[in-house]
Structure 1
């Protein structure tokens, strides 16, 4: 009732403004050329419907970042871009320093509610339902554009398009105007190199981007870790704290694309090697952890306009991903509990392969309707599981492994941490974009997914877009979404703490939102949205009566409301302001308590200044505030923090070079992310400086 009253009160107060704007202007049709001059021709989005649409007409709340915007803001990693989106906050998991993309207060420790796509293909691991535990980083030089949709998107994208969707579109030959080779170096022995090239021959186009990165990682300090508390209990001195968060990495990324007539072939590799373990698997420091992951994909696409009113798209994809241990995972260090002389060690490794076939068509022969429909198939196969450990049951004897014993290989035995398994999904969807009047457009869609393990789910969406006036569009959005249970949720075994539940069902989301997109002048735009949602059947760990372990179950309910503001304003011919703010109020519907870890307030300001014809300066500041603790954590709420970055780019005329100086956290603020088992929390990166040289040829 509280959420509904708030939502409708704000809506009713805004309606007079909308109506007066409508009466004051002739809005018989949009002047698209005028709006394109404000938004730019690049401000077309496909993520909202699967069809390219002008962003102000898109039936969703979206953001677009082109390669030029990404470069100008000094971004070196995709996280630098995503952190600027209103309502999206990046938490850091102490385990591996994994980025958790938290949309609108929808937080979980593995981040399976945010869907990431590369060229429309999910890169989700079925093992944990996220991008993989060994994510590393994602450089940006191969990226042509990033489209982000806030809110549910399962009617278009299916599973895990829950809190938000991120689609990364890589560069093709048309995006590469000049070949480029570049280097970047700076703090923490960081070295980046990349090569970008493309070309064409008649109807054949080709492009490749190769990126290599190596760094010893920033050296934020952890004074006390989880093992420190164990030492007090057991009278030991095993903790490796004080020590540093381990963020070293070595990575190789390759993206290539070939276009021939109506066919597109893409291939990609994300190779992560010698990656550190963050603050440790369970927040017990281990600077010696080395982990790795390989993600490689291929996709073949056929996209043809068969008749003026009929277009067909077919996509076949293969995606292979792994989570590997290069140097063993010491969960707790040597001397743990006074009996594990080598430490408590467990080395779980996972390999998956995913095959997909998607076929969809768009039909526009019916007046005022654009109908899109299709069907598809997905096979997720976790085909290889390996594990060595020095605890649990020894499969050769059937007896517990004695503390201090050598590592035991439990691969291909009933004592492994999870069995090999697969799941299949068949789906069908239908969407209609109906121009019901000159200034009214209704988008309605429905998708039905059928899974081989947990059953079926159907998710609708409805969006009404009203061209209220020449310079105002109003959107009313409703959608449902689901998050598929991961294999860990359903099938984890031989874990002394957490056990999977084969009867678990998908998480569900229902969302309602109103959006005002106001653009009164060519150099000014404002977007304001208000939303509320209910997140139901949240998969959580619950205690089991008379047992020492927890069981995954559909146990939680969360409701939330919030608002987000965005402004883009060309203050001067040489100065552009981009700013946004987000406010979220999320409540645990069972306990009536505010939800922990949610950044209830976020503010962002960015200034782009063309200092001279050859010099561009970008300054940005991001403030995060009001993050509560878990109810089991008696510490005070986390302190607010503000991080500022600065980049300066010099591109001399008539020379094929570009020089840049990039500074991150330039004021060296001591910012902290929440970590239950680190008394002083998880330190975020301190100041770093990088120099960059690009050469075009």
Structure 2
């Protein structure tokens, strides 16, 4: 097989997002491998833009393939991400939105982790995260997940702070027939999906649609924010004890078409009937329902060798997001007594729409001996518009005489309508200065119209000590841009913005080693240390209000260990352990709300008789509280998950059974110190108990 065909295999399924272009520059031994051996290598391009074996990547990176996902007892993206060392998935009080906490770095909205879909950010301008009506992501359309643990702003700009998650959806190279499926499981969960594609001929395309509806797990909350309010006012309005509300309906649709050197993608994520979790201000809300509609479009043109040794990728993308209220959101339940009586509940219905347009040019020059030079420039324009709110209370929390009233386009609306323009330029050099050594250096400059500019460098020194042992020393700086909410909110009943905010800055240092012990065993380990300046959080300023402020510095250190052991042709063991400690430098105390220890292990059996079975154990250590929270740490917990797949139960039909939390462990994730009371939900947030999902999939 010639180099061009091998390169095609390497690039198949790699995201365009890492600013990479197809190239045949490599001296790392890839060309010496057979196609069979090549298929066993985990290749990533997220770390530098160049397809690279995972052990030699210029960052601490995890790659999860569609085959890995099929072996896992996971039913949603969040459950897959929990298997990544150093990454913990916990919950926000805002509609129970997932928080992806990497190495202990997170705040209430979790904007410090950048999530990409096919290389394009799904960052929400208003809040800085994925939006509070994210509601997870199904798995059938996912081809690969790449995760950088550590900063990535030198390539990806804002919000690539604690880490980067790139979700690559299935394209024509992944879907070559018609596949349909249905599922049913606990909590009245029903799902169905459809996939079809063609990789033949000049026009290649793929389409995927997934639908799910569920009542949610309805774990019990014993006390909430209204419980204490009842005690203080003599009312009995609280819905606690009662269930957390995690119902949802979701639609995921993806379409991709490629012709020659042009690729076009369309996507839609619809979320409906979304419950408010423990309530938006941690008072159980049995009534409120949210919806969200996300649309994305991108077109990519790849021009190889437009002049000798020079290639360019041009990408134009459009992203639109919304938050809509389907049923009145009861911040406090009917009968509550605040600065007046609210027989119908204390109601606030916040909504908005936003859109972002991006244009990027990413070039690769291979004309220098032993160098790959990348230059990128780009611009984006984003707009938060159609901000809406209806509510039945005044700014001083007294009842509005007319009941629920629209305050759109007034000073009382919860979020001002704002736009943001940004520009960037970056330069990166990959220099193989000796047979076994490579130095990757880069710097990126970003300018933002609403807070200023920032410059972020990186250095990665990689030493292939032997064919089996690789070591890497990494340095990176990253920043996190303040969100529109953090900068400009003036009329939210709970939080206030601050136009004097500076961006968060992190400097990170890492040492990693990968060792191929033999053909069956691969070990990798890393240690890290980081320093954070100007960390942003909402600080209590009295009168039940919190304001966004730069609260000083944090530091963190830890390490991660990974093992992959192919016992024989039928049995595989995958495991990892992670430790982190993140400290607030003002108090010298653990910042809390993340486990210091995590351990994960999966054993998978392939009987080679069309039966696949896997068992997983996930142990999460205790989680300390934040400085203003005097509760005991959240206890550690262990969950066991099982998955059974019977392939070709009938010709072309597979049966899949997934059992999660086998022992029905009462798993709790930490609730924050309350927004209205010091500990609004003292018993923490309940997670999913025992659940079973059965699926039937048919391939034509």
TM-score by length of 1: 0.93
8 Å contact kept, 2:41–2:53: no
Find out whether 1:185 has 2:184 as its counterpart: yes
Within 5 Å, give how 1:467-482 maps onto structure 2: 467-482=464-479
8 Å contact kept, 1:606–1:621: yes
Within 5 Å, give how 1:209-228 maps onto structure 2: 209-228=208-227
> What is the SS of the residue equivalent to 1:56?
helix
Q: Which moved more, 1:444-453 or 1:552-561?
A: 552-561
Residues of 1 paired with 2:502 and 2:448: CA distance? 11
Residues of 2 paired with 1:42 and 1:342: CA distance? 60
Compute the displacement of 1:551 (Å): 2.6
Determine the structure 2 residue equivalent to 1:637. Answer: 633
Relative distance call for 1:288 and 1:33 in structure 2 (3 A) is: farther
Relative distance call for 1:548 and 1:71 in structure 2 (3 A) is: closer
Q: Which of 437, 440, 443 is the equivalent residue of 1:443?
A: 440
Compute the displacement of 1:224 (Å): 1.6
8 Å contact kept, 1:37–1:522: no
Determine the structure 1 residue equivalent to 2:551. Answer: 555
Determine the structure 2 residue equivalent to 1:46. Answer: 45
Relative distance call for 1:613 and 1:448 in structure 2 (3 A) is: same
Determine the structure 2 residue equivalent to 1:25. Answer: none
8 Å contact kept, 1:372–1:430: yes
8 Å contact kept, 1:659–1:692: yes
Find out whether 1:408 has 2:405 as its counterpart: yes
Find out whether 1:500 has 2:497 as its counterpart: yes
Residues of 2 paired with 1:284 and 1:404: CA distance? 24
Q: Which moved more, 1:301-310 or 1:383-392?
A: 301-310
Determine the structure 1 residue equivalent to 2:123. Answer: 124
Residues of 2 paired with 1:617 and 1:142: CA distance? 22
Compute the displacement of 1:408 (Å): 1.4
Within 5 Å, give how 1:244-393 maps onto structure 2: 244-306=243-305, 309-337=309-337, 339-393=341-395
Compute the displacement of 1:95 (Å): 2.5
Determine the structure 1 residue equivalent to 2:696. Answer: 693
Determine the structure 2 residue equivalent to 1:681. Answer: 684
Determine the structure 2 residue equivalent to 1:589. Answer: 585
Within 5 Å, give how 1:60-75 maps onto structure 2: 60-75=59-74
Compute the displacement of 1:339 (Å): 1.0
8 Å contact kept, 1:378–1:426: yes
Compute the displacement of 1:498 (Å): 2.3
Residues of 2 paired with 1:654 and 1:497: CA distance? 57
Q: Which runs of 5+ in 1 are unaligned?
A: 1-27, 394-398
Residues of 2 paired with 1:400 and 1:54: CA distance? 58
Residues of 2 paired with 1:540 and 1:153: CA distance? 21
Q: Which moved more, 1:479-488 or 1:85-94?
A: 85-94
Relative distance call for 1:496 and 1:73 in structure 2 (3 A) is: closer
Compute the displacement of 1:541 (Å): 2.6
Compute the displacement of 1:611 (Å): 3.0
> What is the SS of the residue equivalent to 1:265?
strand
8 Å contact kept, 1:661–1:691: yes
Relative distance call for 1:602 and 1:419 in structure 2 (3 A) is: same
Relative distance call for 1:423 and 1:174 in structure 2 (3 A) is: same
Residues of 2 paired with 1:683 and 1:638: CA distance? 12
Q: Which of 464, 467, 487 is the equivalent residue of 1:490?
A: 487
Residues 264-294 of structure 1 show CA distances to partners (whole Å, capped at 9, x for unaligned) of 0000000000111111111111121110000
Residues 365-416 of structure 1 show CA distances to partners (whole Å, capped at 9, x for unaligned) of 11000001110001110021001111125xxxxx985367511111011221
Within 5 Å, give how 1:530-549 maps onto structure 2: 530-544=527-541, 549=545
Q: Which runs of 5+ in 2 are unaligned?
A: 1-26, 674-679
What root-mean-square deviation, in Å, do the aligned CA atoms of Structure 1 and Structure 2 show?
1.8
Determine the structure 2 residue equivalent to 1:567. Answer: 563
Q: Which moved more, 1:148-157 or 1:498-507?
A: 498-507
Paired residues, what number?
664
> What is the SS of the residue equivalent to 1:560?
strand
8 Å contact kept, 1:299–1:315: yes
Determine the structure 2 residue equivalent to 1:421. Answer: 418
